[in-house]
Structure 1
Amino acid sequence: MSVTGPDDRRSRGVTYGPHVPKQGPVAPKQAKKQEEPKKKEDAFDKLADKNDGYGVRANFFKIASDVTLGNQGKANRSAAYTFGNWQISKGGKQTVELRNTPFSRWAGVGGGMMNAVQLPTALGSMVSDWRKAARGEGTYNKAVGSTASFASLTTNVAKGGVETVQQFRAFREMKKGTLDAIRAHAPDADPKAANKTARAAANRYLGKSAKVTQSALKHTIKGAGDDAIKSAAKPIAKAALKSGATAAAKAGGRFVPGANVAIAAMDGVAMASTLADKNATVGKKVCSVITFAGSVAAATNIPIVSQAGAVVSTVSSVVGGLFGDKDKPGIAQKAADKVGGFFKKLF
């Protein structure tokens, strides 16, 4: 038995060098990142990613505004049913108009704000879709749909803004006319009581109709509790009614025919785009049809139908946003997929 030392191993060609650790293959994830660098998103792409989420949240709160406005309608029993400028019935029908009340005015403000907050993300979605279509990364069909949705939203914002401004203007004019009449016929009236009376009279007059009787307005004035106003109630009522007729005529209505028909048409284009989109989920497609149907109903001036249509359209927009697309499913679609997967396992 012999002992082999270091010199013997060198003589057999065995050499020594620095230790080099064995390297394995590059991890798949690292290789993928090296091959496909992540594309940078600009402001429009980032806004587009948030569009569905913003729409769901904003429309969820807008439902309260639509329900409030629906409950603030008043009947006009001498008009005809219309769809925009087209008459779809003869006169003598009961149609619906919006009451000019504190509830309707501030509900209009709230609804307009909820529409306005969606504009930036809707614009981002439209620009992003057109750019993707031009680069061959998306379809022109989807770009047309997002354009129609943006146009519908913009028209809603403009329409709501005009209506709300008109309502507040009518209220201010009616209140000013009543207050001027109080000052002219009861100069000694307490300023606070006079202002309270003018406000109550304006809300009563505009909230009911321009045909409110003089006795009803006189009752409102009498309710202020100021002796000077009580003694001058009759001439004040006459003056207030005269100024109020002009103010009420300028009051905006909830159901502006031309704007509502335009919104319904744009929602129809958006619906057609969604139905033709292979990437859209079934839930989103169904909701787009319901949204369009609600917009058409809202464009009429038929009692109950028009109010319900506005609410249904908003609710459907919320639900549709929860489904999302196949490549980016929303909360509702993910839940539906889980439920479907559960039943597939059972059967």
Structure 2
Amino acid sequence: MDPYRISNQQKPPPPPPPAQAKQKKQAPATGQNTSPGMQAPKKNQTTTQLQPVDTFGPRAPGASTQGPAAPGTGGANGTKKQMGPYVPGHEPKIEVQNPGTQPASAGQQPAQTGKEEEKEKEKENPLTKGLDTSVTVNQNYQDGKERAATWKANREAGNSRTKSLGLGIKDNFTQSIADGKNPKDLDTRMGWAGKVNNLIKLGTGVSGLAMGKEGVGDGKLAKAWDAATGGLTNGTAEERNAALNDLGDFGKTVTETAKAGLETGRDLQKYASAYRAASNSLKADAPGLNDTGRRSLAHNIAKTTFNKVDAGDELNGKKFNDLYLENRTAAKNIGSTAHQHSANQTRKVLGMGADKGFKAADNALKAGIHAGAKAAGSGLAKAAGRFVPGANVAIAAFDTAKAISTWNSKSSNPGEIITAGITALGSIAAATNIPVVSQVGAAVSSVSDFVGSFF
């Protein structure tokens, strides 16, 4: 029961008590103070009348459910309400609001709905998304400059605009496959950033497919399965629209993850095979070279092979003569640093004698080039190259599906609607293979997707 309080209201006198035998007055207990004119309370009698507190009146936000209601809210200290007799089964109902729908008090942020909370959890890390956008924009900028140069060369050769466009589309398609099979981009920081970006996309892609906000089994794969097995045909229009978005998101993630996986495997195969071959050659021909020098020289040879060697290259010609000279200079510097030797002493370490020059360095370069050329023509490299044009078309289709879902969703804000449309249009342009247009489209789509992740 709620506590009782002394009423300040005038109450009708209580009914007279039943007749009882007269009792003798007793003196007040020792230590009890009584003023003149005051009488000690009689036994079995109370000095005041108590009434129950109306605890069912509205309360101020955050107030305790115990005790009287707040003043002015219809409680005990506000406008008083007369309580009727207690009737079992007719207790007053107390309405409890859902914490997620309560209005926010001053200084507090409004509670998020379930859909907003899910979107918040599915947002990508802005750092990784920013890295992907930077790499994509830089790569397409470089490719766009090459395609523009090709267009200019076709026009200067006397070809009409129509023929130059046709030649440009063909060249763009062929070059995109060649770049996908055998990229040569480890000579710049953005090239290395691209390799790191592929590793991150591979990891986050696999994780996103398998895991969601509820853990393993609640990722994009599960959502796409639900959408494909009834979500697109059952439920309300909003639920069908959400299923379309889940399918588009799943398809794009699978495509980008597969592309990142193929490119990572292709790069590791070429670099690792060249490094391993060069390192083994140095172990055999230059046993006096310490591990630090051997690893540094093998890395330099693997990087040179990655940037210069194509599938089927032979170990002769001016191209490789220049590489031999560059490799000998690098070997001299690396050996001198690793052993703190002079140039003649380094020749002895690398060439098994000062009169034989840098024989060990030359042999290591030959081994690295041979292994790298073989890797550049492998089945994995071919699969990575052929995947690029098809991936562009698939991503354009999935971005379009996501854009349609965003436009039809009642919960989409203007920023989401605009960026979804720009992303889809950019992806469609990237899939056309029109020189420069496709590169600009891919860059615009990537930037729009990045900006849209903040809405």
* TM-score category (smaller protein): 0.5 to 0.7
Match of 2:358 in 1: 231
Report the AA paired with residue 145 of structure 1: N
Report the AA paired with residue 184 of structure 2: R
Larger radius of gyration: 2
Contact kept, 8 Å, 1:174 with 1:243, in 2: the verdict is yes
Following the alignment from structure 1 to structure 2, what is the Cα–Cα distance between the partners of residues 8 and 195? 105
Matches within 5 A, 1:1-347: 10=15, 18-22=50-54, 25=57, 32-33=95-96, 49-68=116-135, 70-71=137-138, 89-91=169-171, 95=175, 97=179, 98-101=183-186, 102-119=192-209, 120-121=211-212, 123=220, 134=234, 136=236, 138-210=238-310, 213-222=319-328, 223-225=330-332, 226=335, 227=347, 228=350, 230-232=357-359, 233-250=361-378, 251=381, 252=384, 256-299=388-431, 309-323=441-455
1:238 and 1:47, CA in 2 relative to 1: closer, same or farther beyond 3 A?
farther
Contact kept, 8 Å, 1:214 with 1:237, in 2: the verdict is no
- SS, match of residue 19 in structure 1: strand
TM-aligned CA deviation for residue 148 of structure 1: 1.3
- SS, match of residue 416 in structure 2: helix
Report the AA paired with residue 358 of structure 2: S
- SS, match of residue 241 in structure 2: helix
- Alpha-carbon displacement from aligned partner over 1:6-65 (angstroms, at most 9, x marks no partner): 999859xxxx9752334655679985537x8989xxxxxx99654433454425522213
Following the alignment from structure 1 to structure 2, what is the Cα–Cα distance between the partners of residues 9 and 170? 103
TM-aligned CA deviation for residue 203 of structure 1: 1.0
How many residues align structurally?
Answer: 302
TM-score normalised per structure 2: 0.53
Following the alignment from structure 2 to structure 1, what is the Cα–Cα distance between the partners of residues 51 and 279? 98
Following the alignment from structure 2 to structure 1, what is the Cα–Cα distance between the partners of residues 226 and 116? 10
Report the AA paired with residue 99 of structure 1: K
Contact kept, 8 Å, 1:214 with 1:238, in 2: the verdict is no
Contact kept, 8 Å, 1:126 with 1:147, in 2: the verdict is yes
- Alpha-carbon displacement from aligned partner over 1:78-128 (angstroms, at most 9, x marks no partner): x99xxxxxx983348894524352443223213334445544346376678
Following the alignment from structure 2 to structure 1, what is the Cα–Cα distance between the partners of residues 251 and 138? 27
Following the alignment from structure 2 to structure 1, what is the Cα–Cα distance between the partners of residues 224 and 60? 36
1:57 and 1:9, CA in 2 relative to 1: closer, same or farther beyond 3 A?
closer
- SS, match of residue 331 in structure 2: coil
- SS, match of residue 62 in structure 1: helix
Following the alignment from structure 2 to structure 1, what is the Cα–Cα distance between the partners of residues 404 and 130? 24
Report the AA paired with residue 240 of structure 1: G
Contact kept, 8 Å, 2:301 with 2:365, in 1: the verdict is no
- Alpha-carbon displacement from aligned partner over 1:197-251 (angstroms, at most 9, x marks no partner): 1211111221245269213431343112242255214444333322221123345
Report the AA paired with residue 199 of structure 2: V
Higher relative contact order (CA 8 A, sep 6+): 1
Aligned-residue sequence identity (percent) comes to: 25
1:89 and 1:8, CA in 2 relative to 1: closer, same or farther beyond 3 A?
closer
TM-score normalised per structure 1: 0.67
- SS, match of residue 96 in structure 2: helix
1:7 and 1:168, CA in 2 relative to 1: closer, same or farther beyond 3 A?
closer
- SS, match of residue 90 in structure 1: helix
Match of 1:43 in 2: none
TM-aligned CA deviation for residue 272 of structure 1: 1.6
TM-aligned CA deviation for residue 154 of structure 1: 2.5
Alignment RMSD (CA, Å): 4.6
- SS, match of residue 410 in structure 2: coil
Which blocks of at least 5 consecutive residues in structure 1 are unaligned? Answer: 1-5, 40-45, 81-86, 324-347
Following the alignment from structure 2 to structure 1, what is the Cα–Cα distance between the partners of residues 50 and 225? 59
1:295 and 1:191, CA in 2 relative to 1: closer, same or farther beyond 3 A?
same
Contact kept, 8 Å, 2:426 with 2:442, in 1: the verdict is yes
